[in-house]
Chain A
Amino acid sequence: MGAEGPRLPTAAERRRPPVIGPGHTFATVTDKISTIVLTRPTTPGWLAGFLVSFSLMMLLFYAIGYLLLEGVGVWGINIPVGWGFAIVNFVWWIGIGHAGTLISAILLLLNQKWRTSINRFAEAMTLFAVASAGLFPLLHLGRPGLFYWLLPYPSTMGVWPQFRSPLVWDVFAVSTYFTVSLLFWFVGLIPDLATLRDRAETRAARILYGILAMGWRGSAMHWHRYQTAYLLLAGLAAPLVVSVHTVVSLDFAVGIIPGWHSTIFPPYFVAGAIYSGFAMVLTLAIPLRAAYGLEDFITMRHLENMAKVMLATGLIVAYGYAMELFMAWYSGNTYEGFTAWNRIVGPYWPAYWALILCNVVIPQLLWFKRVRTKVPVLFVLSLTVNLGMWLERFVIVVTSLHRDFLPSSWGMYTATRWDWAVFVGSMGLFLTLLFLFIRFLPMISIFEMRELVSETEAGSSD
């Protein structure tokens, strides 16, 4: 799909940017990635970033402590808006995780080689995003200590959870997602952990990486079994890309609240999840490749491909918005119509218009190759989409709830500083885990990059 100009493009022009920079061998790949973890000293930049993230995480813990002492009343939620920031943030974080699974599982099964250099940290991003997401439903329970009532276990109450409730499906969806993502990530790490074990300089590091490498010796039998296991896990993870956010969307769609009760929700949520996920991968990849000089591994090809995925999923999301409005009108339902109109011109109109701007209007710039290949612009665009997707969830949660069927039960929702503290703090948790990850584990899959080297040497252009 090279650019078609008036003159025939030369072979060099027609070739897409490579998935790995030129001149790399097995040794340079291994060196370049493993030294970040093993030999390079902790940089001041890393330390500064870690300290900021860590402080934000402490803010999260402080806010959670206060919440547990005082109850959910410290947040801005009340009837009619019982689902405030907690649910907005939950959906946002869970959505972000989806790009990691899509990159690691679906692109693996589709044999997309370009996934190789971004899958590792995208998977880590998934894990940390799901960890941040998982906090919110628990905190949002009036009595977080009884969260285990959601699990089906032989309780002394003699009853099971309400299996017809999407909130119970949520528990299964999210915990399965976390487990499979963790397994997939860990299994993917095993050969690299063995590399780190073999190259580590201190005995403590050798033992630690050695335990985690689980006796990996890299024999042909190991590789044979490994590849089977990895493919099986990818097969397990692939449906989760679709199922998890479908279940999350059903939390809304099963309810009879106007603006939620719609069959378009599952596909529209899944597209939104992948959209925000790729935006987050870009947000993380762009500073990372600059800070660690990984431009040879995370090339323009990767950034451009991710931008294209963002553009495609963004268009699906835009279609979702259009259909919501269309159905509100076409259904002839007074309440649906009012909710749609109220979103556009009601008290929360700035959130709605900002969301349309961030998610629909601005990302249209990605049609232009010049925009897709300009790294700083891409970075700003990824931030815009992240913001837009957060606003989308805010609009869905708050505007639908604050105008109920009965005008007598209308109300407004304003976030308190504790809402903000938990939200900003959850970013601290996410970033702290991420900083620890890039310091102690290889952020790019070493062995898969080596495979890529051998394949490019063999003359395969893809």
Chain B
Amino acid sequence: MAQIFHPSTNTISRVSLFSVLFLIALLLWLLAEFQRSSYITEANVEREQPVQFSHKHHVADDGIDCRYCHTSVETSAFAGIPPTKTCMNCHSQIFRDSPYLEPVRESFRTGKPVEWTRVHQLADFVYFDHSIHVNKGVGCATCHGRVDEMPLIRQVASLQMEWCLDCHREPELYLRPHDQVFDMAWQPPSDQLEQGSRLAKLYKIRSVEELTSCSTCHR
């Protein structure tokens, strides 16, 4: 009886036996990477807004504090989107006739708020509060990145749970003094671990067990 298989089948079968392991590993790795890509997380995706508003211009060039517009960031869960009147505080005086600002003026005339496109969207099953983070020494830039360098605002973090836990598990790596929270250019000192631990104690940050308990964020 003739051979069913060509002798080269030996090599093919040996190679395929080993390579199948690598293929599976590769597939799993690709899946894991895909899950963290900006296609899924929407990080670093700049969005079209109704007004061509530049954070870079207002923060870096004009030196306006975050809290001038995001007024409730220290006291409530939501940092706050400014009403049109906040814009008009300045823009009734400067760039009064700029065509770029027509949607703002129209909103002011009609009383209909500007419909901004939301950039940072957390899942509804996550309980998140801006005030507790700001008051315990977590800087704006720690989560939102260098907003003073963004002409168009974008999300820099993945906002995935593992990202939240990075800090909840080791808050001392990220904490800064109260008076530096709104400083965009703050850099961790060389002894951050020491300073952070000191601040954690000073600000009475809860234990890691409490910070990582399910119901801290999922209530």
Contact = CB atoms under 8 A, between A and B. Distances in A.
Contacts of A197: 4
Interface stretch (B79-87, B99-107, B161-169, B196-204): B161-169
B93 interface: no
A23 interface: no
A17 interface: no
Contacts of A157: 160-162
A215 B165 contact: no
Nearest to A210: B4
Contacts of B165: 158-159
Nearest to A198: B1
A214 interface: yes
B36 interface: yes
A214 B13 contact: yes
A156 B161 CA distance: 6
B contacts with A: majority SS: helix
A194 to B, nearest CB: 11
Contacts of B162: 155-158
Interface string B173-188: 0000000000000000
Interface in A146-166: 153-159
A156 B5 contact: no
A155 B163 CA distance: 11
A158 B4 contact: no
Contacts of B163: 158
A142 to B, nearest CB: 15
A206 B10 contact: no
Nearest to A203: B4
B158 A156 contact: yes
Interface-centre pick from A156, A157, A206, A207 (highest chain B CB count, 10 A): A156
Given A154-B32, A214-B13, A206 B4 contact: yes
Given A158-B164, A158-B165, 20 more contacts: A153-B28, A153-B32, A155-B35, A156-B36, A156-B158, A156-B161, A156-B162, A157-B160, A157-B162, A158-B161, A158-B163, A158-B166, A197-B4, A206-B4, A210-B4, A210-B5, A214-B13, A215-B5, A215-B9, A215-B10
16 contacts: A155-B35, A155-B162, A156-B35, A156-B36, A156-B158, A158-B161, A158-B162, A158-B164, A158-B165, A158-B166, A159-B161, A197-B4, A207-B4, A210-B4, A210-B5, A215-B5
Leading 6 A-B pairs by shortest Cβ distance: A158-B162, A156-B160, A158-B165, A157-B161, A210-B4, A206-B4
